[in-house]
Amino acid sequence: MPLEYTRLITTPFSDQVRTYAVRDAMLYALSVGLGSDPLDPRQLAYVYERNLRAFPSMAHVLGMEIDWLFDPANGIDLAHMLHIESGLTQVRPLPAEGSVKSRMAIKEILDRGVEKGAVLSFERSLRDAKTDDLLAIVTGKFLLRANGGFGGQTGRALPPAEIPEREPDFLCELPTLPQSALLYRLNNDPNPLHADPEVARQAGFSRPILHGACTYAVACHAFIRTITGYDGAKLRRFDVRFSAPVLPGDTIRTAFWKLDDNRYAFTAHAIERDVLVLTNGLAEHC
């Protein structure tokens, strides 16, 4: 079935309200590696209920709406879909508990041709359900490898952030656990690709892989640890392109290049396998 461009681009998304508790905020932070040093009070601020803070990248799992991806009437070939970019603009820190409302919007679908697929860009606003204050804007792109050639616009996407051709200014290595994917999927992201070895083999992987959103969060952890001293409220922007999957248990080394007073380019490698897993990253703090 071909991609139903008009149906997708005009989908009338409604607000998704998500209420979460301090337990959810702590589980999220633990699942992306916070608390690895239980004696570090800066990490405890995200995993211990006393004066708890929500980790900024938790915005990616609050109020997600994915039914449209699985609706066969939209014509998306899920078996050949890749999550290729992810971004976050933090306007206000997430509360440690509360209710948020999320509104999805499909911003653009570019047709790269039958052989190259299509690129779908989305944006999701996250607001406080009580005050309507804007908290964050989550962005992302999917490469629909089998959905190109539907006759849509072939406009050129904005180029990703460039990485300077010099040694990085900062490096941060953070481990993932063999059970990291099993932990992360408890944040309302239950795709069996990240838990079931047989499903992973059918998809061409030797074992279940880590969620891209978890890899993203580990790099975000590296930025907040290295650049802001674990003050997540200082994060303003964190955008990146995915280049290869991470295997649970990999150690992720994130490299940062300072561009100006508050902006950094970054990449990330799975160091045991010497694989570039994140590229063209751009991070900003206040």
Three-state SS letters, 76-120: CCHHHEEEEEEEEEECCCCCCCEEEEEEEEEEEEEECCCCCCEEE
Q: Could you tell me if residue 227 is inside a domain?
A: yes
For residue 93, the domain's CATH number is 3.10.129.10
Is the domain of 12 the same as that of 124?
Answer: yes
**What is the token pair recorded at 172?**
């941060």
Q: Could you tell me if residue 157 is inside a domain?
A: no
Is the domain of 196 the same as that of 87?
Answer: no
The catalytically annotated residue of 60, 194, 269, 285 is 194
Is the domain of 137 the same as that of 11?
Answer: yes
Is the domain of 213 the same as that of 125?
Answer: no
Is the domain of 194 the same as that of 96?
Answer: no
What percent of the chain is predicted at pLDDT more than 90? 84
Q: Please choose, from the candidates 259, 245, 167, 243, the residue with its C-alpha nearest in 3D space to the C-alpha of residue 208.
A: 245
Domain range for residue 126? 5-144
Structural domains counted in the chain: 2
The catalytically annotated residue of 71, 128, 169, 189 is 189
Catalytic site includes residue 128: no
Q: Could you tell me if residue 139 is inside a domain?
A: yes
Is the domain of 10 the same as that of 139?
Answer: yes
Q: CB of 120 within 8 A of CB of 144? A: yes
Q: Could you tell me if residue 15 is inside a domain?
A: yes
Q: Please choose, from the candidates 105, 15, 24, 27, the residue with its C-alpha nearest in 3D space to the C-alpha of residue 63.
A: 15
Is the domain of 14 the same as that of 134?
Answer: yes
- 202 or 35: which leads in pLDDT: 35
Is the domain of 174 the same as that of 140?
Answer: no
Judged by average pLDDT, the poorest of 125-129, 151-155, 256-260 is 151-155
Q: What is the pLDDT of residues 186-222, one digit of tens each?
A: 998 888 889 999 988 988 889 999 999 999 999 999 9
Average pLDDT taken over every residue of the chain: 94
Q: Could you tell me if residue 182 is inside a domain?
A: yes
Is the domain of 131 the same as that of 177?
Answer: no
Catalytic site includes residue 194: yes
Q: CB of 227 within 8 A of CB of 283? A: yes
Q: Could you tell me if residue 151 is inside a domain?
A: no
What percent of the chain is predicted at pLDDT more than 70? 98
Q: Which amino acid is at 69?
A: L
Q: Given 126, 144, 162, which residue is the final one in a domain?
A: 144
Is the domain of 90 the same as that of 191?
Answer: no
Is the domain of 30 the same as that of 109?
Answer: yes
